Amino acid sequence: MSAQFLQLQDIFIRTKEAAQSFMKILEPTIENAKEEHERLYFHHIYEEEEHRLDRLESVIPKLEYFLQNMDGQHTNNHEFVKLLQDVSLEKFGLHNFLEHLDLALFQFKSTEHENTLQGLRDLTYNDYQKSKELLQVLNDQFDGAANSAASIPTDEKEGINEHLKIEKYTTESPASRSSEPIGKPAKRLTVGSLKTKKEII
């Protein structure tokens, strides 16, 4: 399973750097926020990504350990099973990051950060899809040990009211890669949009 772990290691290191770039964009927005609601909103997303960074910093060395110690890769090894579950949690983390980036793309539209955010978004979309494939391979190999009910986002759950899902996250079609609403004209939004964003930054 070294091939899968090597790819996961790449994804985790890449998304760690992406999260740090994202947080750098958010920092002045939090610091210069003129309203408590705006400040809480960006602080909240920043904090969640910092939390994810802490988790990634914890899981990456464990991944590296099992890359060096392949003998330990079996389901009787509690530490290995724990790693598989941690990897599963980070799959959800990538989905969550994707939504953070899409929310930011609404708010930073037409600012100097738009291109960077779109790049991070595209990277994260691809890495999320890849992480799902890798988890599937690991689950097949290790009797479902990497499977976690708590790693499936609402968008991909069965038996959920479809109106609560976001279409672009439920499919893997090329169209779903766009950050723009599908079939609707692109327009500026009232909720959460920062009309004064250019002045703030």
Q: Is 5 or 80 the residue whose CB approaches its own copies more closely?
A: 80
Beta strands in 96-150 (DSSP E): none
* Residue 172: exposure state from Cβ atoms within 10 A (0-12, 13-18, ≥19): exposed
Between CA 11 and CA 122 the distance in angstroms is: 13
Smallest distance, Å, CB 3 to its own copies?
27
Smallest distance, Å, CB 58 to its own copies?
6
Smallest distance, Å, CB 124 to its own copies?
14
Site residues, its own copies (CB under 8 A): 27, 30-31, 35-41, 43-44, 46-48, 50-51, 54-55, 57-58, 78-79, 82, 92, 96, 99-100, 102-103, 106, 148-150, 152-155, 161, 163-166, 181, 184, 187, 189-196
Give how far Cα 77 sits from Cα of 11, 118, 139, 142, Å: 24, 40, 15, 11
Q: Is 35 or 71 the residue whose CB approaches its own copies more closely?
A: 35
Going by the DSSP 8-state scheme, the letter that residue 155 receives in this structure is G
Between CA 93 and CA 96 the distance in angstroms is: 5
Between CA 69 and CA 157 the distance in angstroms is: 35
Q: Is 6 or 40 the residue whose CB approaches its own copies more closely?
A: 40
Q: Is 5 or 41 the residue whose CB approaches its own copies more closely?
A: 41
Q: Is 2 or 69 the residue whose CB approaches its own copies more closely?
A: 69
Between CA 145 and CA 43 the distance in angstroms is: 35
Other beta carbons within 10 angstroms of residue 144's beta carbon come to 12
Smallest distance, Å, CB 31 to its own copies?
4
Smallest distance, Å, CB 122 to its own copies?
17
